Amino acid sequence: GAVVSQHPSRVICKSGTSVKIECRSLDFQATTMFWYRQFPKQSLMLMATSNEGSKATYEQGVEKDKFLINHASLTLSTLTVTSAHPEDSSFYICSARHRPGVETQYFGPGTRLLVL
Amino acid sequence: QQQVKQSPQSLIVQKGGISIINCAYENTAFDYFPWYQQFPGKGPALLIAIRPDVSEKKEGRFTISFNKSAKQFSLHIMDSQPGDSATYFCAASKGGNTPLVFGKGTRLSVIA
């Protein structure tokens, strides 16, 4: 299957700082990427849909000013958690569609964020 | 409103046995149904997927059974192995660029 990478794999930061997470499609171009967060022993919760060259579409209840998403190229989307707080600690996972109009989504390995 | 309901929440199966996980959906616009496997601390990995125009799809030890009229689909893992111990998620989408809707997950433990 297609390969999606994320960086960093884990990050620890102090409360009030900002953290950027990168999501890359390594062997294909992804016009659409998705960002999820997952709390321990829970399912994946969609945060936003990221489209290359346009503004992200956020799910209800997700603060777009807190979770900044940029999809500047066909292989890179970034999620910036601004002014992070302990309640933002979670597992953040991105996914990408292999081809436009094809439903198959490939997920990255995830980024574990711990805010102290 | 939970669009995809998954059961059981957890499952313990003997090595060599059959693991069965069930999902039910409500939205008849869904037309793509994948299953993902997730190990602790890792991202989900696509196992197998089906569309509603077929009733069954098999890939190795993994089989999806699909019942369109009942709006249900299930994952069968034949000859379950300890290495299959993971969390399994069913999902559904309406096609195009719409996102996946996930079930709550099933924690499978295969014991020797």
pLDDT digits (tens, 9 = 90+) for A72-94: 888 999 999 999 999 999 999 99
Q: Which residues contact A60 (CB under 8 A, 6 or more apart)?
A: none
pLDDT class for A19, splitting at 50, 70, 90?
A: very high
Nearest CA among B20, B27, B37 for reference residue B2: B27
- Listed by number, the residues of chain A in 45-84 with a beta carbon closer than 8 Å to a beta carbon of chain B are 46, 49, 51
Query: What is the model's pLDDT at position B110?
Result: 98
Name the pairing type of β-strands B86-92 and B33-38: antiparallel
Query: What is the model's pLDDT at position B13?
Result: 98
Nearest C-alpha of chain A: how many angstroms from B69?
22
Query: What is the model's pLDDT at position A81?
Result: 98
Tell if the CB–CB gap between B43 and A93 is shorter than 8 Å: yes
Angle, alpha carbons B59-B60-B62 (nearest 5°): 65
List pLDDT tens digits, range A38-71.
999 999 999 999 888 888 999 999 999 999 999 8
Query: What is the model's pLDDT at position A1?
Result: 63
Per CB distance under 8 Å, which residues of B are interface residues toward A?
Answer: 32, 34, 36, 41-46, 49, 89, 93, 95-97, 99-100, 102-105, 107
In whole angstroms, give the CA distance from residue A96 to residue A77.
10
Q: Is the pLDDT of residue B58 over 90?
A: yes
pLDDT class for B68, splitting at 50, 70, 90?
A: very high
Angle, alpha carbons A59-A65-A68 (nearest 5°): 75
Nearest C-alpha of chain A: how many angstroms from B108?
12
The region of weakest confidence among A5-14, A51-60, B28-37 is A51-60
pLDDT class for A101, splitting at 50, 70, 90?
A: low
Longest dimension (CA), chain B: 42
Q: Which residues contact B14 (CB under 8 A, 6 or more apart)?
A: B80, B110, B111
Query: What is the model's pLDDT at position B36?
Result: 97
Query: What is the model's pLDDT at position A100?
Result: 66
